[in-house]
Structure 1
């Protein structure tokens, strides 16, 4: 594992690159995109475990903190999806330039808002595979009632309190410019999508839209009895193993 910092628009994105042990030949790599308010370890250290599992399979994995999160520079209040997508572009460019990485064999994965970010970035960059854990398409596809509640909260307090973290006007204004599915549709490769049956973020209507966007390229895995964070030891182990195997298969 090596520390790898990436510069993007005057900010330093801080992360770590897990490299396979073995011959010096360039290897495939995947960037791991954490969720809203998270960091490069993700819930239950699942990104650490996934990165280690990938390295065992000969795939490098880069865990990084988005701007304003974890150890990276930036102001969390300025978070927008479009900015995160641009950061992923900088990450992919840095991975492609790394001497241990094969620039033609890059992949993306993401959790929740990082999943939405990854699916949008995959449509803009040549990546081999896309892994989505409970992607938060709802963040830019809110129904009318939820959007009004958020707008009223921002008008009253300057932010919407989402699990103890502020969602501010720049995030909402940016979200209005994004279509989570039309903007993701140009990505032509395989997609693994994992979701819990009790997930409050990714409902059945959004699952239908993922099917409509990716069709038979979508490899859907439904986890019974867990919610947005895949909250059991067994579910998280299955999640990590499925994702490592899928990424390595398509690397």
Structure 2
């Protein structure tokens, strides 16, 4: 059993910080976690989820995108395209350390990380499944933009998400899809959530957490902590249909 092993992954000569947790001796499967946008976001939000999955036999890896958390690089030098590069390197790293084929790997992304997760399925179409938590969607033209004011202006255009390549990627993806949103998410536009949830309903499951807002993985009260637990339990129930999950 790995207990919080820090790792470093190289992408574009940038050091991407990661944290491995779980069973590296014949794991039932492996899960990669990708956090959302914003300079203060980091892999730390996934710690409770990583521990819960470790308890049922998974090896998990959470990373900090470049310019965030413990990774090197400048936040505003990054872009969605750069985050895709970071995430691809993380998938390849997880495949190597887990010694598992793609079809034993799940990718989970939160908010902006949900867009990245969806886009990764073009590179890794054989992963077993994706979990999209409060997933955002962005236009193809916004992907190469630096994460500064130019990106903010681009995504503020009405319906900028309508032609998002994230949706096209998921339409081609043959694996299972779980979507999770908070009932009171005011960050993600309703049409974006509805589009993602249509994939979940047809390809796996779509969960709405009652009373929850956007920051499902950053609880600030006992009620929030229960909602996060509901998210984790829902993900384990989903994964139990795809992997030989052990009793926790």
TM over 0.5: yes
> Which of residues 203, 207, 231 is equivalent to 1:221?
207
Q: Which has the larger radius of gyration?
A: 1
Name the structure 2 match of 1:150: none
Question: In 2, Cα distance between the equivalents of 1:248 and 1:83?
Answer: 32
Aligned length: 223
Question: In 1, Cα distance between the equivalents of 2:64 and 2:239?
Answer: 21
Change in 2 beyond 3 A, CA 1:26/1:60: closer
Name the structure 2 match of 1:184: 170
- Contact 1:29/1:107 (8 A) holds in 2: yes
- 1:163-242 superposed matches below 5 A: 167-169=148-150, 178-213=164-199, 216-230=202-216, 231=219, 232-242=224-234
2:67 corresponds to 1:68: yes
Name the structure 1 match of 2:35: 34
Name the structure 2 match of 1:102: 100
Name the structure 2 match of 1:53: 52
In the TM superposition, what is the alpha-carbon distance from 1:136 to its structure 2 partner?
1.1
In the TM superposition, what is the alpha-carbon distance from 1:31 to its structure 2 partner?
0.5
Name the structure 2 match of 1:18: 21
Q: Deviations over 1:150-171 (max 9, x none)?
A: xxxxxxxxx9xxxxxx633367
Unaligned runs of 5+ in 1: 148-158, 160-165
Tell me how large the CA RMSD over aligned residues is: 2.9
User: Bigger relative contact order, structure 1 or 2, given CA contacts below 8 A and separation 6+?
Assistant: 1
Change in 2 beyond 3 A, CA 1:192/1:73: same
In the TM superposition, what is the alpha-carbon distance from 1:117 to its structure 2 partner?
0.8
- Contact 2:178/2:206 (8 A) holds in 1: yes
Q: Deviations over 1:84-104 (max 9, x none)?
A: 112111111111111x43133
Unaligned runs of 5+ in 2: 244-248
In the TM superposition, what is the alpha-carbon distance from 1:207 to its structure 2 partner?
2.9
Change in 2 beyond 3 A, CA 1:170/1:223: closer
